[in-house]
Amino acid sequence: MARQWNSHPLLVTFCLLALWFGKKQWVIGEPVAPCFFIFGDSLVDGGNNNFLNTAAKVDYLPYGVDFPGGPTGRFSNGKTVADVISERLGLPNYIPAFASAIPATGLLQGVNYASGSAGILVETGKFQTLYNLGARKIALAGISKIGCTPFAKTIAGRKGCVDSQNAAVVPFNKLLRDLAGRLNQDFPDAKFVYLDTMAATDLLLRSLPNTQEPCCQVQTVGLCIPNGTFCDQRDTYVYWDAFHPTQAANYIVGPFLYQTLKQIL
């Protein structure tokens, strides 16, 4: 028996954005969202930086060592949190990177616009434009506890999280959470939700034993050394390099964030 879903494209921003377009009837067992659009930085980059003139490029081993087909430009040993959420949504394929050659039919499933080292600009926050294009379900992910990354700890010369860096994130996340509330009032036929990535960091640090060191051997900039060594027990590490989580970590964060995403599905 078919179920009528009020489905729109999902747009997630990792700090960040996701969205759905159009109404569609779904049969039970099919995707819970027709498509998924991703905006963000290296945490969810699906390979866009491979095609850009940037030093923030990871199209080499050991990146992708656990991903089907090897290195793709993802800043992890395997799947990103966006990949994990796509699986939870029931989408059949990975969301393609915008800069790659995307077949016309591939656009119907969504596009990944995320780019490593991307920042936050006025141009990336035009919700009215996205709304006019059909975005109706939007998730806004806050900034995680950046003071707990191996890079932050190394610079500070300590083993514990750098509290000053984590504290600096709190005001931004509060404003982002408040923004989601205001947007729900301004656009009553759309749904906005805030994703608490600081709580996700706390969950990670409680769930995996290796929280201090990156799994791969890193350069001074914090990225893995090309063709460098890496740990064997990758499923026990929070961080793949000095900044980015392992696939194992993303399989903890993804389901955690998805519980909030379900509120707008």
Structure tokens at 216: 């791969």
Average pLDDT over residues 3-27: 45
Distances (CA, A) of 120 to 114, 172, 239, 260: 12, 12, 24, 23
Instruction: Write the DSSP string, 76-87.
Output: SSS--HHHHHHH
Confidence of residue 106 (pLDDT cuts 50, 70, 90): low
Record the tokens describing residue 68, joined without a space.
């089907």
Please confirm, yes or no, whether 8 is among the known catalytic residues.
no
Query: What average pLDDT is seen over the chain?
Result: 88
Taking only the tens place, the pLDDT of each residue in 32-70 is: 888 899 999 999 999 999 999 999 999 999 999 999 999
**pTM given for the model:** 0.90
pLDDT at position 215 over 70 = yes
What separation in angstroms does the CA of 205 have from each of 8, 174, 211, 234? 34, 22, 6, 15
| Catalytic residue selected from 7, 42, 76, 144 | 42
The residue written with tokens 């991307």 in the block is 118
The one-letter amino acid at 63: Y
Q: Which residues pair with 34 in a beta bridge?
A: none
Q: Residue 14: which pLDDT band, with cuts at 50, 70 and 90? A: low
What's the average model confidence in pLDDT over 114-137? 80
241 counts as catalytic: yes
Is it true that the peptide bond before 62 is cis, omega within 30 degrees of 0?
yes
The two beta strands, 10-14 and 137-141, are parallel
First vs last C-alpha separation in the chain = 20
Q: Which residue has the tokens 């569609």?
A: 24
pLDDT tens for 218-262 read: 999 999 999 999 999 999 999 999 999 999 999 999 999 999 999
234: Cα within 13 Å, side-chain hemisphere: 24
pLDDT tens by residue, 68-82: 999 999 999 999 999
d(CA 191, CA 188): 7
Kindly tell me the burial class for residue 62, based on how many C-beta atoms sit within 10 Å of its own C-beta (0-12, 13-18, 19 or more).
buried
Question: What is the per-residue pLDDT across 190-207, written as a single tens digit (0 to 9) for each?
Answer: 999 999 999 999 999 999
Tokens representing 31 are 């995707």
Catalytic annotation on 244? Answer: yes
CB 136 within 8 A of CB 20: yes
Catalytic residue among 41, 45, 83, 241: 241
d(CA 128, CA 141): 18
Residue type, 144: S
> For residue 135, what are the contacts with CB-CB under 8 A and spacing of at least 6?
8, 9, 11, 19, 20, 21, 37, 127, 190
- Considering 8, 45, 115, 244, which one is annotated as catalytic? 244
Contact 33, 10 (CB under 8 A): yes
The mean pLDDT value for 86-111 works out to 85
Counting every residue written for the chain, the total comes to 265
